[in-house]
Structure 1
Amino acid sequence: MADIHIRNAREEDVDKIFVMTKELAEHLGEKNTITVTPELLKENQMSYKCVVAEGKVTDGSSSKPLLGFALYVYRFDGWEGKVAILDSMYVVPEHRNKGIGSALYTTVAKDVVASGCSYMEQLVHNWNTSAQEFYKSKGAYDFSETFNVHAFRIPTSKLEEVSNPDIKL
């Protein structure tokens, strides 16, 4: 891990973060669901935090390769105050199982604690047992079972209908 450096993402990293986001979506079987663009990521950098794992310079290149990223946001929980959501974490396949994911997670955890959050949550697919085990190894628990909750999402198209009283649902 001595050749890996974890740092805050910079604007010049956005294109590579976008590529890794697409790779993550493909890994999760959701490659056709990506609607974010590099432009949206750049325009909304104040809405999220992102850290990257930077490797050492190779092949005479002047730039260090990005080997992974973790993107997270803060929100306010009406019961517990400020909380964090780890939205996406990804390590390029050829660099997995080298501690990079743990280093990214540790960096995010330090920032979340320093920010005064009550907790951090992350959504994990039912079938993604390796991610579930990773998070459990860090002390996470499956709150969907503990609190008997389901996560609901409403797309903007439906919000437009709800927000317009003249449209019959």
Structure 2
Amino acid sequence: MSLTIREAGEDDLSDILRLVHDLAVYEKEPDAVEATEADFAAVMFPTDGHPNTYGLVAEVDGEVIGIAIWFHSFSTWTGRNGIWLEDLYVSPEHRGIGAGKALLGRLAQICQERGLARLEWCVLKWNTPSIGFYESLGAKAQDEWETYRLDGVALTAFAEADLMRRG
């Protein structure tokens, strides 16, 4: 068995989407994925401009078994960019071979190579196996912060109310 970590290419889009769907099932949101291969292609491999989203894939003997999807964040406190890891996923049958650690390790190397200040991500509070894994790497929970989100109907309503308020 040979584990390889590499940058995602356009040929990986179907595998990326497959693993995103598997992640949604794992996170108990099997019907939540709206993204398509075209959506991923537009942000990762745009025909105009630069990508704003990036991916790493983990392969075992040529089969894509894991992904890390990320983008640049920015810290006003450090004045530097970082990496926001949107999703890290390794297929269950390939866990325990070091793929997750290798994906995170490559992201840490990218931070070092590019002078980026941070590598950050969120994890569901019930996902104790992942929390234990992250803590074993030296990652620290940012318990003093609470994540908020506006999306769907609430996002639309707020945007429309703001437009009306501005006239």
Same fold, judged at TM 0.5 (above): yes
The gaps in structure 2 that reach 5 residues or longer are 45-50
Aligned AA for 2:114? Answer: S
Is 1:161 matched with 2:157?
A: yes
CA distance in 1, matches of 2:115, 2:156: 35
Partner Cα separation in structure 1 for residue 115 and residue 36 of structure 2: 31
Residue type of the alignment partner of 2:74? F
1:1-169 → structure 2 map (5 Å cutoff): 3-45=2-44, 46-56=51-61, 64-80=62-78, 81-143=80-142, 145=143, 148-155=144-151, 157-164=153-160, 165-166=163-164
Question: Could you tell me which amino acid in structure 2 is paired with residue 108 of structure 1?
Answer: L
Shift of 1:113: 2.0
**Whole-Å separation in 2 of the counterparts to 1:104 and 1:74:** 16
- Alpha-carbon shift at residue 66 of structure 1 (Å): 0.6
State the Cα distance separating 1:157 from its structure 2 match. Answer: 4.1
Gaps of 5+ in 1: 57-63
**What is the TM-score when the length of structure 1 is the normalising length?**
0.85
Quick one: distance in 2 between partners of 1:162 and 1:92?
A: 38
**Deviation of the 1:17 alpha carbon:** 0.6
Q: Distance in 2 between matches of 1:25 and 1:88?
A: 10
**CA shift for structure 1 position 159:** 3.7
Q: Report the Cα offset of residue 156 of structure 1.
A: 5.3
CA separation of 1:156/1:117 partners in 2, compared to 1, >3 Å: closer, same or farther?
farther
Aligned residues, how many? 156
Using the TM superposition, give the Cα deviation of residue 134 of structure 1 relative to its aligned residue in structure 2, in angstroms. 1.1
Cα distance in 2, alignment partners of residues 103 and 159 from structure 1: 36
Identical counterparts, % of pairs: 27
DSSP-derived class of the 1:26 partner: helix
**In 1, distance between residues paired with 2:27 and 2:156?**
29
